[in-house]
Amino acid sequence: MASSGEAVPRTYGGPAGWISVAIPAALFAYFLQFVPVIAAGTPVVVGFDWVASLDIRLSVLIDGLSLTFALLISGIGTLVTLYSTKYLGEHPEYPRFVLYLMMFMIGMLGLVLADNLIALFVFWEITTISSYLLIGFTSDEAKSRRSALQALLVTGTGGLALLAGMILLGNVAGSFELSVILAQGDMIREHPLYLPILILFLAGAFTKSAQFPFHFWLPNAMAAPTPVSAYLHSATMVKAGVYLMARVNPALGETDVWFWTLIIAGGFTTVFASILAIRQTDIKQVLAYTTLMALGALTLFIGVGTADAIKAMMIFLVVHSLYKAALFLMIGIVDHETGTREAEVLRGLGRKMPLTFLGGAIAAISMAGIPPLFGFIGKEFLYKAGLELDTAMIWVTGTIFAASVLMFAAAGISVLRPFTGPLADTPRPAHEGPWAMWICPLILGVFSLGFGLFPDTAEAWLIAPGTWAVYGDYGYEVDIYLFREVNAAFVLSLVTFAAGAVVYAFHRPLRDWLGRVFEANPIKFDPGWDRVLDGLKALAGWQTRLLQSGVLQKYIFVIFLTFAVGVGATIYLKDALQISVDLRAEYDALSFKVWAVLIFITAGALLTAYTQSRMAAVAALGVVGIGVALIFIMFSAPDVAITQLLVETLVVVLVAVAMLKLPHLGLTKDRGRRPLHAALALTVGTLTTLVLFAVLQSDLDRRLTDYFEIASWPEAFGRNIVNVILVDFRALDTFGEIAVVVIAALAAYALLRGTQYGPPRDEIEGEERR
Amino acid sequence: MELLLSIMVGALVAASVYLMLARNVLRFLFGLILISNAANLTIFVAGRLTPEAPPLIPYGQDAPVGVVANALPQALVLTAIVIGFGLFAFALTLVYRTYQNLGTLNSDEMRLAEPEESKK
């Protein structure tokens, strides 16, 4: 059956798919063991040398921050793989999908656990590449491919910047180990290279975490299958940039540049993204933009950098991962079972899909920040941290307020509206999804609710150790709670609910209005991206056409020009021309026969270059060759002279034979460019002479010659030192030389043996086919 | 002596560069021969010139007596001459064969693999 080429329908989501669930589950269980250790406030550092010569170690740093991330990655990874067994289990490429997903998970775990900067970078790039493969998973769609490439280029460029920053930081700190670097924060902040390092690190973090103005790739990345969106582009990978900023906060943070860059980029992204979220009609896009908003808020609070802000950031990090992954998985079920994600189409699914509704509802309530969910605590502490700042910084609180209001509305758009009201027609009749899918948002919901009701647990396990690690102070008392008193933050929450409800009530006219406003806006990032790419392609094309003209003459011209510029600049810059030429003494030392030979060679060379007659050229070449042989004879190189004579004779014979079949030189057509060529030729010739002058001024290193002179007879029993060098000391070189000649002879034979005249065979065949 | 020879090497190089920049591939080939000679002489001169004292060890001695010519550049040049010859022979065959197949020695007209792009 299979051999006949017929497709055999297979379902991978069965028992085989369970393996993919078992791996992250086992990792999750493994990381859980560290919780008590880390909660006690002692980071774990273990490792071994990887590339010792480059100071690259494969070392692991487990503290509150990396453990929180590791638990989120493996925990949500377990749910996402479980979900995928049903979501993509019947997809023919399911095994490939699982492979990419596992690759991503390992990369992400390595990223958050690595203690070595270079190792961190390697894992960082693994997540970039696996993200590319996963976004482009439906590779037969052009949109998918474009989004994948965009994400790869944006985050990859940031990754390169990050690598440069890491190398600088490693050199400044004298170590690539994070645990060492983080302890020298004051020295690094004082260093003149601090600013370049900071810019390069933030370039990496902002592209990865899609901060404005690099935000545009993330909504496009939603072309990926929904489990991927839930996992990579919401809960984990896009938080790698946040992780990085949080990680290096003790070393790079707490300066004005850090403060303003992060809060401006973060604050702007927060508000901008939450407005864009309201504008969308595709619920998955609504969620994508609220993810951007969350990333902006996290960046903002790392920038603020007070202990309370860091604490709020850690809480919101966990809160967001829990509810956002759940919401993505929820919309994935809806898409899978009804065939659409349009907010305008979906209504009244609650009765048909009660369990999905329940899971989505818990997440949405958490996103709206309604007690007693963990999301309420997250919002409260964001407010508290914001209100603690100077009154001049009130806009931090304002930013979070605006974002929270819009999040409240977004929660309504993505869950309340689709699941309530009268049932609407959908492309496929709505029905509940398989248990492996609906259970995943529910499990995440249990955590959202559990951490909300028992905040002390979340505090002790994750939030406190994480805050210590990011803030760099293990003495700070972390205290979180659901409700203690009616204070400003609580009042602000109540206002948020009221404002959010109003926005939700009017969200459809608001959306239309926003749509018109954004249509009118001339600055568009996505088409701008296309223009940048087109520009790059045009630049590459222009440069290729310039350098790769296909004209042999130009190639050779460029080669010699490069030589002239390179050598000339080096001589000039190194000031290598300290020549004291005593030409008079030179002149006297020359005997008549040397003079004669010099003149013959020079004249022969010039004649070869000048003549239009090929016979004259061959004769002049012979004069040059024999002249060179005479020089070898006069200056004590008889063996060389013999070889030169033999070779020269052969050359002249070969050229003469070839002349029988070749045309006359004729008048060259390139007369016009010849003066330019002559100028370059003169330059190269002069430079060669100057280089030789410089060489002759310096001392001769005779060590090798001395060795050969002494060792020639005792060790190799030869009296002709040149011969001994050739056949004994450097015998392998001679062997290589013989090989070259043999290969040249074989190739020449093959060329001559072919009897076919005219254009090559493939062209003829092409004509016959036509 | 070395300095005057250096000037001559410069002249050789200039002539060969000029030849290699020509369109006619036969001229290019002449340039190739000349530049091989120039390169060999460069190595030879850089090792210093010693008249009338070949690097030989007389019978009954373990090492050369007195100052003899530098043997190392001689060995290098010897290898280079042979390899230069191999290169030349192959290039000549290639030119010959190319002329038989394409009927031209003008490198600009040899565009079988890269046809001239149509002007936009």
What does the block give as tokens for B59?
Answer: 């019978």
How large a percentage of chain B has pLDDT more than 90?
A: 45
Q: Do B6 and A708 touch (CB under 8 A)?
A: no
Q: How high is the pLDDT of residue A539?
A: 92
Q: How high is the pLDDT of residue A582?
A: 66
Q: How high is the pLDDT of residue A768?
A: 44
Q: Is A549 on the interface with B (CB under 8 A)?
A: no
pLDDT band at A2 (very low <50, low <70, confident <90, very high): very low
SS3 for A473? Answer: coil
Q: How high is the pLDDT of residue A543?
A: 87
A606 Cα to chain B: minimum distance (Å)? 6
Contacts of B90 in chain A (CB under 8 A): 744, 747-748
Tokens 């609650």 belong to which residue?
A350
What does the block give as tokens for A714?
Answer: 């005792």
Contacts of A722 in chain B (CB under 8 A): 55, 71, 74-75, 78
Q: Which helix (H) or strand (E) holds B25?
A: helix B25-46
CA-CA distance, A564 to A558, in Å (whole number)? Answer: 10
Top residue of B16, B67, B72, B118 to mutate, by most chain A CBs within 10 Å, is: B72
- Nearest to residue B99, comparing CAs of A253, A666, A488, A232? A666
- Please say whether the beta carbons of A358 and A448 come within 8 A: no
- Compare CB distances from B96 to A583, A662, A734 and report the shortest one's residue: A662
- Nearest to residue A417, comparing CAs of A358, A345, A367, A368? A345
CA-CA distance, B103 to A663, in Å (whole number)? Answer: 9
CA-CA distance, A128 to A86, in Å (whole number)? Answer: 26
pLDDT digits (tens, 9 = 90+) for A136-176: 998 888 889 999 999 999 999 999 999 999 999 999 988 88
β partners of residue A129: none
Q: How high is the pLDDT of residue A628?
A: 94
b/e A22-46 (16+ beta carbons within 10 angstroms → b): ebbbebbeebeebbeebbeeebeee
Q: How high is the pLDDT of residue A53?
A: 76
**Stretch among A523-527, A642-646, B81-85 having the lowest mean pLDDT:** A523-527
Higher-pLDDT residue of A284, A5: A284
- Residue B67: phi, psi to the nearest 5? -85, 125
B77 Cα to chain A: minimum distance (Å)? 7
Average pLDDT over residues A424-448: 88
β partners of residue A49: A57
Q: How high is the pLDDT of residue A67?
A: 92
Q: Do A713 and B101 touch (CB under 8 A)?
A: no
Average pLDDT over residues A204-209: 92
The three state secondary structure string of A65-92 is HHHHHHHHHHHHHHHHHHHHHHHCCCCC
Q: Is A621 on the interface with B (CB under 8 A)?
A: yes
| Cα nearest neighbour of A666 on chain B | B24
The yes-or-no verdict on residue A756 having pLDDT over 80 is no
The yes-or-no verdict on residue A128 having pLDDT over 90 is yes
Q: Is A603 on the interface with B (CB under 8 A)?
A: no
- Please say whether the beta carbons of A427 and A410 come within 8 A: no
Tokens 């004579």 belong to which residue?
A645
Q: Do B10 and A733 touch (CB under 8 A)?
A: no
A2 Cα to chain B: minimum distance (Å)? 42
- Please say whether the beta carbons of A278 and A405 come within 8 A: no
Instruction: Name the burial class of residue A590, with classes exposed (0-12), middle (13-18) and buried (19+) by CB atoms within 10 angstroms of its CB.
Output: middle
Q: How high is the pLDDT of residue A312?
A: 92
For chains A and B, CB pairs below 8 A equal 289
Instruction: Name the burial class of residue A572, with classes exposed (0-12), middle (13-18) and buried (19+) by CB atoms within 10 angstroms of its CB.
Output: exposed
pLDDT digits (tens, 9 = 90+) for A452-467: 898 888 888 888 888 8
Handedness of CA A458, A464, A469, A470 (dihedral sign): positive
Tokens 């002349």 belong to which residue?
A659
Q: Which residues contact B115 (CB under 8 A, 6 or more apart)?
A: none
DSSP A247-271: HHHHHH-SSHHHHHHHHHHHHHHHH
Q: How high is the pLDDT of residue A721?
A: 92
Q: How high is the pLDDT of residue A11?
A: 58
Average pLDDT over residues A575-601: 76
Q: Is A590 on the interface with B (CB under 8 A)?
A: yes
pLDDT digits (tens, 9 = 90+) for A353-405: 899 999 999 999 999 988 888 999 999 999 988 888 887 788 888 999 999 99
Contacts of B119 in chain A (CB under 8 A): none
Q: How high is the pLDDT of residue A673?
A: 61
DSSP A649-707: HHHHHHHHHHHHHSPP----S-GGGHHHHHHHHHHHHHHHHHHHHHHHHSPP--HHHHH
β partners of residue A520: none
Q: Do A608 and B19 touch (CB under 8 A)?
A: yes
Whether the link from the prior residue into A455 is cis, omega within 30° of 0, is: no
- Compare CB distances from A609 to B19, B50, B63 and report the shortest one's residue: B19
The yes-or-no verdict on residue B114 having pLDDT over 70 is no
Q: How high is the pLDDT of residue B23?
A: 84
How large a percentage of chain A has pLDDT more than 90?
A: 40
- Nearest to residue A403, comparing CAs of A483, A299, A326? A299
B81 Cα to chain A: minimum distance (Å)? 7
- Please say whether the beta carbons of B95 and B25 come within 8 A: yes
Q: How high is the pLDDT of residue A327?
A: 93
- Please say whether the beta carbons of B34 and A621 come within 8 A: yes
Average pLDDT over residues A104-124: 92
Average pLDDT over residues A33-54: 81
Contacts of B11 in chain A (CB under 8 A): 602, 605-606, 685
Q: Do B15 and A609 touch (CB under 8 A)?
A: yes
Cα→Cα distances A167→A22, A119, A155, A190, B106, Å:
37, 12, 18, 18, 51
pLDDT digits (tens, 9 = 90+) for A230-257: 998 888 889 999 999 999 988 888 888 9
Q: Do B71 and A708 touch (CB under 8 A)?
A: yes
Chain centroid to CA A677: 44
The yes-or-no verdict on residue A522 having pLDDT over 80 is no
Could you tell me the domains of chain B? 2-53+67-119 (1.10.287.3510)
Q: Do A662 and B105 touch (CB under 8 A)?
A: yes
What does the block give as tokens for A630?
Answer: 């005479």
- Please say whether the beta carbons of A752 and A661 come within 8 A: no
Contacts of B66 in chain A (CB under 8 A): none
SS3 for A635? Answer: coil
Average pLDDT over residues A50-59: 76
- Please say whether the beta carbons of A334 and A341 come within 8 A: yes
Give ipTM to 2 decimals. 0.93
The yes-or-no verdict on residue A60 having pLDDT over 60 is yes
Q: Cβ atoms within 10 A of the Cβ of A209, count? A: 31
The segment with the largest mean pLDDT, out of A100-114, A525-539, A578-592, A688-702, is A100-114
Instruction: Name the burial class of residue A257, with classes exposed (0-12), middle (13-18) and buried (19+) by CB atoms within 10 angstroms of its CB.
Output: middle
- Please say whether the beta carbons of A51 and A296 come within 8 A: no
| Cα nearest neighbour of A655 on chain B | B92
Cα→Cα distances B45→A509, A628, A639, B2, Å:
88, 12, 16, 6
Q: How high is the pLDDT of residue B113?
A: 65
CA-CA distance, A123 to A640, in Å (whole number)? Answer: 58
b/e A653-689 (16+ beta carbons within 10 angstroms → b): ebbeebbeebeebeeeeeeebeeebeebbbbbbbbbb
Pairing of strands A56-62, A44-51: antiparallel
Contacts of A636 in chain B (CB under 8 A): 50-55, 68-69
Q: Do A681 and B17 touch (CB under 8 A)?
A: yes
What does the block give as tokens for A54?
Answer: 């480059």
Handedness of CA A220, A224, A226, A230 (dihedral sign): negative
| Cα nearest neighbour of A582 on chain B | B3
CA-CA distance, A458 to A451, in Å (whole number)? Answer: 6
Q: Which helix (H) or strand (E) holds A159?
A: helix A142-173
The yes-or-no verdict on residue B119 having pLDDT over 50 is no
Q: Compute chain B's Rg from CA coordinates.
A: 21
The yes-or-no verdict on residue A553 having pLDDT over 80 is yes
What does the block give as tokens for B16?
Answer: 């060969």
Q: Do B85 and A702 touch (CB under 8 A)?
A: no
- Residue A216: phi, psi to the nearest 5? -65, -20
Q: Which helix (H) or strand (E) holds A603?
A: helix A592-610
- Please say whether the beta carbons of A223 and A148 come within 8 A: yes
HSE of A670, CA atoms in CB hemisphere, 13 A: 24
- Compare CB distances from A662 to B38, B99, B106 and report the shortest one's residue: B99
CA-CA distance, A195 to A285, in Å (whole number)? Answer: 36
- The average confidence (pLDDT) of chain A is 86
Q: Cβ atoms within 10 A of the Cβ of A51, count? A: 12
DSSP state of A42: -
pLDDT band at A206 (very low <50, low <70, confident <90, very high): very high
- Please say whether the beta carbons of A301 and A238 come within 8 A: no
Q: Do A685 and B52 touch (CB under 8 A)?
A: no
pLDDT band at A472 (very low <50, low <70, confident <90, very high): confident
DSSP B33-53: HHHHHHHHHHHHHHT---TT-
- Please say whether the beta carbons of A177 and A59 come within 8 A: yes
- Please say whether the beta carbons of B22 and A617 come within 8 A: no
Top residue of A583, A600, A608, A654 to mutate, by most chain B CBs within 10 Å, is: A608
pLDDT digits (tens, 9 = 90+) for A663-717: 776 555 555 567 888 999 999 999 999 999 888 888 888 898 999 999 999 998 9
The yes-or-no verdict on residue B95 having pLDDT over 80 is yes
pLDDT digits (tens, 9 = 90+) for A297-330: 999 999 988 888 999 999 999 999 999 999 999 9
Using a cut of 0.80, tell me whether the model's pTM lies above it: no
Average pLDDT over residues A56-60: 81
**Stretch among A146-150, A636-640, A755-759 having the lowest mean pLDDT:** A755-759
Q: How high is the pLDDT of residue B38?
A: 95
A536 Cα to chain B: minimum distance (Å)? 20
Q: Is A712 on the interface with B (CB under 8 A)?
A: yes
Q: Do B88 and A725 touch (CB under 8 A)?
A: no
CA-CA distance, A430 to A715, in Å (whole number)? Answer: 92
CA-CA distance, A237 to A131, in Å (whole number)? Answer: 8
